[in-house]
Amino acid sequence: MTRRAATTPPPSPPASADDIETQFYEALRRGDLEAVMAVWSDDEDISCVHPGGARLVGPGAIRASFAAIFRNGAIDARPEQVRRLQSHACAVHSVLERVQAAGSSGVQPAWVLATNVYVHGAQGWRLVAHHASPATGAAVPELPEARSTLH
């Protein structure tokens, strides 16, 4: 009698752009290249801009950049002050990232302004663009709370 190995069903697609964003930042903190790439769309036109870096287009270029970054360790980046714009198939998140960076005087927070763009398709929600820039100034950038008024 031959025993078959139990198969694990594939994970269900992320239910929201927030879910895939959580997976992205958790993967960065673990330095897990496969998990980082799993949140991206399979589309050849996906793009990524790291702070101070060039625009990277396509899964191969994005994978290579994260592999190079992770050679120096994981990225302790945590999203704060997330602002969301969403339709039924697209979401844009404007994020203030708190990045714990090791320096000569110990671990110091650094701030990065990022825009994450997600689309919803057959695979569920997937990241299609990540654009990050260093925040200027020593303090946390203040983002005023927007109040919407309908006329």
Q: What is the pLDDT of residues 76-89, one digit of tens each?
A: 999 999 999 999 99
CATH number of 17-134: 3.10.450.50
Contact by Cβ (8 Å): 95, 114: yes
What single-letter DSSP state applies at residue 44? T
d(CA 146, CA 33): 36
Q: Which residues contact 83 (CB under 8 A, 6 or more apart)?
A: 93, 94, 95, 143, 146
User: How far is the C-alpha of 14 from the C-alpha of 31, rounded, in Å?
Assistant: 20
pLDDT reading at 48 higher than 60: yes
| Gap between the Cα atoms of 41 and 118, Å rounded | 9
Query: What band does 107 get if pLDDT is binned at 50, 70 and 90?
Result: confident
* pLDDT tens-digit series, residues 16-38: 999 999 999 999 999 999 999 99
Give yes or no for residue 126 having a pLDDT over 50. Answer: yes
Q: Where are the domains of the chain?
A: 17-134
**C-alpha atoms less than 13 angstroms from C-alpha of 94 in its C-beta half-sphere:** 5
Residue 24 corresponds to which tokens in the numbers above? 């992205």
Q: Is the pLDDT of residue 114 over 90?
A: yes
CA 73, CA 102: separation in Å to the nearest integer? 11
- C-alpha distance across the termini of the chain, in Å: 73
The contacts of residue 75 (CB under 8 Å, 6+ apart) are 28, 29, 31, 69, 99
Flag whether pLDDT at 7 surpasses 60: no
